[in-house]
Amino acid sequence: MSKFVIYEVVPRLFNNSNSSNKWKGSIDENGCGKFNNFTEKALSEIKALGATHVWYMGVLEHATQSDYSAYGIKKDHPAVVKGKAGSPYAIKDYYDVDPDLAEDVTNRMSEFEQLIERTHKAGLKVIIDFVPNHVARQYHSDAKPKGIADLGENDHDEWFFSPLNNFYYLPGQPFSPSFDIQSYKEYPAKVTGNDQFTATPSETDWYETIKLNYGVNYVEGMQKQFDPIPDTWHKMRDILLFWAAKGVDAFRCDMVEMVPVEFWGWVIPQIKKKHPSILFIAEVYQPSEYRNYICNGKFDYLYDKVGLYDTLRGIMSRNHSAQGITYAWQKLGDISDRMLNFLENHDEQRIGSGFFCGSGMYAQPGMIVSATLTKGPVMIYFGQELGELGMDSEGFSGVDGRTSIFDYWSVKSIQNWINNGKFDGDKLSNEQKELRAFYKRLLNIANSEKAISEGLMYDLVYANLDNQNFNLRQQFAYIRKHKNDLLLIVVSFHDKDLHTEIRLPAEAFQYLDMKEGHTYECVDLLEESKQYPDVELSSKKMFQAIIPAWKGKIFKLKRK
């Protein structure tokens, strides 16, 4: 598969032109972005940035404190909703879209279907979340197709566990969290989404959600009862088929390790049989399970959060050596190209926040590595390309370095880029313009250069362990090659410009099927193909370059 670039965006926040940003403000006070805000112009600009896919995060209807009962949507109890807007991962109806995102609530599904069409017309593919492990505390589908039973509709709540049930129950126990839940009543209590098999979850638990039952008896030795196929499996397959039929191109699957791998190995081939090109991306955090979810779970790609992301964050925070990048990809071995790389997403702190680097400009060397080290996909989070700080106190989400997914809010950097629909970035600072230009060049290089999307990678660190003119702690270098396309990539996490010398070992020439001693034209793709003097590539000569502080070079070498 060719490399692709994901642009993750929260529609609720994107192009919300209301800038009142009242703490804990309602949708009427703070406003909300809409599906229709993703105009042809907006999508063309996302495409021009280098994106191939747009992940519309928070599309499915979820629990909220906003009242849509006038539209036949059951009102949620505020005690089991996090924030005024609610968590996009507390799904309330798998067969509906978030009414917040529609200009005409009664026409909300049609507005989303039109968004899919516009996205495809712009040359982009659509990703949405599939949240399989848990649902909102008061889940109720009012939009499910005729003849489909709702989750929990036929459950026996006097049983803690049964493969016939969709939920787990705590018979004889009322839901009684260890904090005030006002007048909310639930009897018997259902098990909380983050595997809290108790009627008294804490405020730090996923108390607003209930866990789905895939046929695993957690109380009696984790027994798996998969024959006959549990009812939940069939219901979730039908949900995936429903969205795939609407033209969704990929599913980002939430917390897949909390769902048995056997389910994924059963359901994904069935979806792909009807929709062969559809992709499944797994949010996983246990490296020991990576191959299990690729081989047995049949996923196309997995998150590499605890691998390359954590490694790069440690380097960018000056806690670890750049040599850690070598260890990160070596641990993955043959599955490195099946990992999704990123430096930001809705769960992680913004690079520009005071909890990370303090400025988005420091992202550049890490982002180069994230985008070009492997053939796997790369993702950015909307506003990352502008150095968004994520240091607002929105309401449920405090000053934590993240952009809230629970509150109605607007993102100033995004507003300044959109500039009332012009998308000209005229209101951006010079630094923001420079950073966005960097991302635009890098992401387009990543998905257009075959040496990156299809080629081999050769890590040059070990060849330079005894090289006094190569800073092993704060520099990293590698080669990417495909046929006659050759790239030498060098990055620096140092505060000063560094004159560096890089040894290309004889083994690299052998591995990449290159002959030594030839002369090459040299340009830096990141500097809009700036021409450098010709160079001779040989294991007997050092490649010399000046790498600016907290930046990198992608040298394209063409044999003369």
Q: What is the pLDDT of residue 3?
A: 87
Average pLDDT rounded to a whole number, residues 418-425: 94
Helix, strand, or coil (residue 122): coil
Element (H, E) at 266: helix 261-274
- Name the band, by pLDDT with cuts 50, 70 and 90, for residue 531: confident
CA angle 109–110–112, rounded 5-degree value? 65
pLDDT of residue 181: 85
Instruction: Report residue 421 as tokens.
Output: 């629909």
The dihedral through the CA atoms of 151, 157, 162, 168 has a sign that is: positive
With helix as H, strand as E and coil as C, how does 462-506 read?
HHHCCCCCCCCCCEEEEEEEECCEEEEEEEECCCCCEEEEEECCH
pLDDT digit string, tens, across residues 81-90:
999 999 999 9
Average pLDDT over residues 245-260: 98
Band of the pLDDT at 1, cuts 50, 70, 90? low
Confidence of residue 182 (pLDDT cuts 50, 70, 90): confident
Q: What does pLDDT average to over the chain?
A: 97
Q: b/e for 334-357, b at 16 or more Cβ within 10 A? A: ebbbbbbbbbbbbebbbbbbebbb
Q: pLDDT digits over 506-526, tens only?
A: 999 999 999 999 999 999 999
For the chain, state the CA radius of gyration: 25
In tens, the pLDDT along 375-392 reads: 999 999 999 999 999 999
- Which residue in this structure is represented by tokens 């997403």? 345
529 forms beta bridges with: none
Give pLDDT, residue 521: 96
Give 476's pLDDT tier (boundaries 50, 70, 90).
very high
Determine contact, residues 494/470, Cβ cutoff 8 Å. Answer: no
What amino acid occupies position 454? E
Q: Is 143 helix (H, G, I), strand (E, B) or coil?
A: coil
First to last CA, the chain: 31
pLDDT at 186 over 70: yes
Question: Is residue 541 pLDDT above 60, yes or no?
Answer: yes
